[in-house]
Chains A and B, each alone.
Chain A
Amino acid sequence: SYELTQPPSVSVSPGQTARITCSGDALPKQYAYWYQQKPGQAPVLVIYKDNERPSGIPERFSGSSSGTTVTLTISGVQAEDEADYYCQSADSSGTYHVVFGGGTKLTVL
């Protein structure tokens, strides 16, 4: 089955740049989406269609794509950005279905 691979954890100091990667064979053909989830809360969409930012999401969140890897970049990380981040895409090789990555815990030191 199709998988999206994320690092389990990323740590950065406040004000630095955090980069969270997501790898998957179908990413060159399907858009990627990124979600932020804080403890006890529902996920929030922070990036859609690889690099688009929904209204209300701070400009420090950005997305990029290169081949089979997509990257969520958080510039000038703030303490409030500490959360789990999930990438999500789709697999259309057989029956179309949606896939989430395993999630990355971002720790702000």
Chain B
Amino acid sequence: QVQLQESGPGLVKPSETLSLTCAVSGYSISSGYYWGWIRQPPGKGLEWIGSIYHSGSTYYNPSLKSRVTISVDTSKNQFSLKLSSVTAADTAVYYCARDRYLGAFDIWGQGTMVTVSS
């Protein structure tokens, strides 16, 4: 079955860049679909960060667009998130997910908590 697993530092300093990777197993990213990142601050709701098509086309949340880069590495069957100039407001659980229709997240990773603190 298709599985997604996030990885990356759990602690990032303010003003630095948050970097996460999502490894996909059970499905080849190059075969299709979009692949997305969603975050959830503690005790709050879900926020879409952005999605990438398997070919590399990207779609970002306008409120984060200036700081976000999502890329895909089909050779490693993974995709990545970079969020620059982080502040405490970026502290959240970050999820990666398969995005079937650009806004239809049918398979999710377990999530990884990222804290922004000095």
Contacts and interface: CB of A to CB of B under 8 A. Distances in A.
Nearest to B110: A42
B104 to A, nearest CB: 5
Contact of A98 (B95, B103, B106): B103
Interface in B1-44: 36, 38
Contact of B103 (A54, A86, A88): A88
Given A42-B111, A86-B46, A103-B46, A97 B105 contact: no
A102 B47 CA distance: 9
A86 B110 CA distance: 17
B106 A45 contact: yes
A98 B111 contact: no
B108 A42 contact: yes
B117 interface: no
A24 to B, nearest CB: 13
B92 to A, nearest CB: 13
A66 interface: no
B106 A97 contact: no
A10 interface: no
A90 interface: yes
Contact of A45 (B46, B62, B105): B105
Interface of A: 1, 30-31, 33, 35, 37, 42-45, 48-49, 54, 86, 88-90, 94-103
20 contacts: A31-B104, A33-B105, A35-B105, A42-B108, A42-B110, A42-B111, A43-B46, A45-B106, A48-B101, A48-B106, A86-B46, A88-B48, A90-B103, A95-B59, A97-B48, A97-B62, A98-B59, A98-B102, A100-B38, A100-B46
Interface of B: 36, 38, 45-48, 51, 59-63, 95, 100-106, 108-111
- For the complex of A and B, the 6 pairs showing the least CB-CB separation, nearest first, are A42-B108, A98-B48, A98-B103, A100-B46, A90-B103, A103-B45
